[in-house]
């Protein structure tokens, strides 16, 4: 019998736990990364997004320590590094990022009045890091699920997502929206979720692509997302300013976010906005409309239309929101030109990272063999291609 990747990783993490801490973990939790099909930079504007949880995940094997010296003890399989710190005094580590995602989530539980137990844990993941597939959100959600269990406080999955996001906002210092943590906590196999980031209501949108011979392909462009945090926070700031300006120009009372502005009313006044603000707002307002149209297209099995919307989203992220980069533009353009490809776009925060493409299943091999090498020659980057399997959100593989 051959083991699935998840079973192999489970066996592996239990073995490493035994090597590092002796004995078995009582809990093993997993949380997936994500790819966003459409709706980027809309979540922090109270808008709509349509992500999928992927079959790449973070895993944590853990056990509460009795009679301990008050220390939390960690080992990261991926970095081959250990860390320990007192459960009562959780501070950011000055130069080890991986532990800060965990520390951040624990700190949020502590700030909410919970007393953090001491425990030992091994962490490992196969979500590519720095690729824009939300390895950090997956990690944060896994930690939040673990704490929820250890403290036995019965948080809902939405509350898990919110506490994980709070850690990213307040401890890591990235003002991200709710999308990544939400889909990691609540994703559903074979489906995307349309999330209303204002109300946190969501709708399951079955993908049914394989019935029609299509699949979703993620291509890691090999452009690492550097200096993203400051640019991201800056975009967010522009959107906020845009709301203030539009409030004045539209003169119809207070606007809570760009979500409250229709595209036609925006276009009527957009020339009176500073150019940069106008471009940023144009993207967000039109992207919200595209998400709603994309959901309708999937529900009507109109994959051609869905593909056009992906292409339009890329154009908008490139031209108006200016979060693409030359390498990704080359990749997207080459991919869109291939006969059979329905749509392709940059996905996630941008400034490098991944593209998402809707293509026929029987085209994946030639995409890998013929298109990717041309991209690599043109840009000098090394790309990776994954066929995305839409997976369930965070869960326990072991709880004893």
Question: Which residues would be at the binding site for ligand GLA (CB under 6 A)?
Answer: 36, 40-41, 43-44, 176-177, 179-180, 348-349
C-beta closer to ligand GLA: residue 36 or 336: 36
Q: Please say whether the beta carbons of 92 and 100 come within 8 A.
A: yes
Q: Report the C-alpha gap between 287 and 302 in whole angstroms.
A: 19
**Distance of closest approach, residue 228 Cβ to ligand GLA, in angstroms:** 8
| Minimum distance of ligand GLA from residue 376's CB (angstroms) | 25
CB 236, min distance to ligand GLA, A: 8
Minimum distance from CB of 184 to ligand GLA (Å)? 11
Q: Are strands 51-64 and 27-36 parallel, antiparallel or unpaired?
A: antiparallel
Q: Which is nearer to ligand GLA, 28 or 281 (CB)?
A: 281
Name, in order, each residue with C-beta under 8 angstroms of 313's C-beta and a sequence gap of 6 or more: 38, 39, 40, 287, 290, 345
Q: Please report how many Cα atoms fall inside a 13 Å half-sphere around the Cα of residue 132, on the Cβ side.
A: 32
Q: Toward ligand GLA, which CB reaches closer, 36 or 124?
A: 36
Residue number, 83 or 180, with CB nearest to ligand GLA: 180
Nearest in space to 45 (alpha carbons), one of 255, 204, 350, 264: 255
Look up residue 210 and give its two tokens: 């394989």
Closer CB to ligand GLA, residue 25 or residue 132? 132
- Least separation in angstroms between residue 367's CB and ligand GLA is 24
Q: Say how far apart CA 261 and CA 7 lie, in whole Å.
A: 48
The DSSP secondary structure of 122-141, one letter per residue, reads EEEE-SPTTSSS-HHHHHHH
Q: Smaller CB distance to ligand GLA: residue 27 or 280?
A: 280
- By the 8 A CB rule, do 323 and 228 touch? no
> From the candidates 180, 196, 211, 305, which is the catalytic residue?
180
Whether 264 is a known active-site residue: answer no
The tokens for 200 are 């946190």
Strand order in the sheet with 51-64: 81-86, 71-76, 119-125, 51-64, 27-36, 395-399
Specify the DSSP class assigned to residue 29.
E
CB distance 272 to 249 below 8 Å: yes
CB of 144 to ligand GLA, least distance (A): 16
292 neighbors 195 (Cβ within 8 angstroms): no
Instruction: Please give the positions annotated as active site.
Output: 180
């Amino acid at each position: 019998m051959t083991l699935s990747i998840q079973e192999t990783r489970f066996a592996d993490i239990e073995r490493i736990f035994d090597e590092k801490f002796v004995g078995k973990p009582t809990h093993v939790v997993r949380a997936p990364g994500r790819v966003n099909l459409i709706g980027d930079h809309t979540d922090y504007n109270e808008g709509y997004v349509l992500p999928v949880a992927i079959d790449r995940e973070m895993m944590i094997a853990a056990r509460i320590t009795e009679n301990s010296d008050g220390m939390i003890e960690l080992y990261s399989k991926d970095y081959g590094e250990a860390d320990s710190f007192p459960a009562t005094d959780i501070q950011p580590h000055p130069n080890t990022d991986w532990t800060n995602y965990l520390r951040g989530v624990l700190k949020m539980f502590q700030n909410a009045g919970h007393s953090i137990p001491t425990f030992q844990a091994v962490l490992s993941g196969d979500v590519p890091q720095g690729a824009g597939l939300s390895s950090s959100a997956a990690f944060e959600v896994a930690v939040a699920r673990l704490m929820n269990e250890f403290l036995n406080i019965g948080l809902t999955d939405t509350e898990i997502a919110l506490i994980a996001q709070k850690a990213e906002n307040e401890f890591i210092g990235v003002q991200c929206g709710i999308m990544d943590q939400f889909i990691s906590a609540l994703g559903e196999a074979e489906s995307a979720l349309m999330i209303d980031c204002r109300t946190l209501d969501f709708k399951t949108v079955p993908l049914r692509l394989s019935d029609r011979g299509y699949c979703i392909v993620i291509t890691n462009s090999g452009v690492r997302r550097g200096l993203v945090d400051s640019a991201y926070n800056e975009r967010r700031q522009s959107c906020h300013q845009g709301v203030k300006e539009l409030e004045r120009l539209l003169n119809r009372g207070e606007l809570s976010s760009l979500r409250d502005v229709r595209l036609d009313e925006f276009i009527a006044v957009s020339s009176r906005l500073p150019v940069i603000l106008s471009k940023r707002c144009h993207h967000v307002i039109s992207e919200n409309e595209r998400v709603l149209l994309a959901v309708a297209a999937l529900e009507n099995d109109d994959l051609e239309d869905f593909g056009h919307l992906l292409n339009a989203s890329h154009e908008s992220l490139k031209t108006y929101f200016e979060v693409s980069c030359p390498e990704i533009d080359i990749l997207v353009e080459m991919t869109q030109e291939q006969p059979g490809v329905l749509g392709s776009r940059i996905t996630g925060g941008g400034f490098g990272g991944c593209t998402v493409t809707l293509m026929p299943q029987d085209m994946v091999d030639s995409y890998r063999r013929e298109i990717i090498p041309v991209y690599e020659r043109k840009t000098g980057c090394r790309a990776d291609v994954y066929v995305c399997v839409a997976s369930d959100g965070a869960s326990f593989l072991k709880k004893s």
